């Protein structure tokens, strides 16, 4: 019997390259890292260093040129596209810098959208969606549309939406990058609180080293390489 404990996600020798005419652009160069279950891992680095590319590969939205990604010990390379899609939809949540809310729908409807798009009945979605909005401090804003919400409130709706399918891993790409400092701090506090209460694993991509320092593990990207700064 195999009692080995796997990280929620692991990257092994990832390399991502693009062709620019006759020139090869190396974005990620031999990246290996692990995301422990229930922890927050920060990935930092300046713009253009490959942070979002790495996050997209982790979330199955992109593929590496070479190397492997493992989810709970299973390599994505051995999975069919249908299985990868199920894994992404059922086990991974995404929070982006720009909230990607649907402007014609209310906050409650936006949170329900992942389930509605998969055929779940609206009435069955409403209670868990309302509970998530309460968790992120928006119990009084459920019927408001995105245009009636502040940037911080829209990001809270996006976080609630990402949590709707009860993912085991939440990938956050510059979640405070479009917010002022005070509002951004509130979002970071919310993410850390949700991590403690839900035990969901978090990866937070940020250019802000003060945010990265708070994580249980901090990985800095530089010239396509990954360097562990703490943990």
Average pLDDT over residues 69-92: 91
Which residue range is the domain that position 123 belongs to? 40-63+90-230
Q: Six-digit token pair at 63? A: 């593929």
Residue 27 counted as domain residue = no
In a domain, 174, yes or no: yes
Query: 217 lies in a domain?
Result: yes
- If one counts the domains in the chain, the total is 1
> 16 — phi, psi (to 5°)?
-130, 120
Task: Please answer whether residues 187 and 156 qualify as being in contact, where contact means their C-beta atoms are separated by less than 8 angstroms.
Answer: yes
Q: What is the pLDDT of residues 118-150, one digit of tens each?
A: 777 788 889 999 999 998 999 999 999 999 999
pTM of the model: 0.88
225 in a structural domain: yes
Torsion of CA 110, 62, 167, 131, to 10 degrees: -10
Q: 31 in a domain, yes or no?
A: no
Could you tell me the CATH number of the domain that includes residue 222? Answer: 3.40.50.300
pLDDT in tens, 197-217: 888 999 999 988 888 998 989
Q: Residue 17: enclosing H or E segment and its boundaries?
A: strand 9-20
């Amino acid at each position: 019997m195999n009692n080995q404990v796997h990280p929620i996600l692991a990257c092994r020798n990832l390399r991502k390259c693009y062709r620019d005419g006759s020139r090869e652009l190396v974005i990620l160069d031999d990246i290996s890292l692990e995301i422990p279950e229930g922890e927050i891992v920060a990935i930092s680095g300046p713009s253009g260093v490959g942070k979002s590319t790495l996050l997209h590969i982790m979330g199955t939205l992109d593929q590496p040129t070479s190397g492997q990604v493992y989810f709970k010990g299973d390599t994505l390379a051995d999975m069919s596209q249908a299985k990868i899609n199920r894994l992404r939809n059922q086990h991974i949540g995404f929070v982006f810098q720009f909230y990607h809310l649907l402007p014609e729908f209310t906050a409650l409807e936006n949170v329900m959208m992942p389930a509605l798009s998969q055929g779940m009945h609206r009435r069955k979605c409403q209670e868990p969606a309302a509970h998530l909005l309460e968790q992120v401090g928006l119990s009084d804003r459920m019927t408001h549309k995105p245009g009636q919400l502040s940037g911080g409130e829209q990001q809270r709706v996006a976080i609630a939406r990402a949590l709707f399918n009860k993912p085991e891993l939440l990938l956050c790409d510059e979640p405070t990058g479009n917010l002022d400092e005070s509002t951004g701090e509130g979002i970071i506090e919310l993410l850390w609180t949700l991590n403690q209460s839900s035990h969901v694993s978090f990866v937070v991509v940020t250019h802000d080293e003060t945010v990265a320092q708070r994580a249980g593990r901090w990985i800095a990207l530089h010239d396509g390489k990954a360097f562990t700064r703490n943990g």
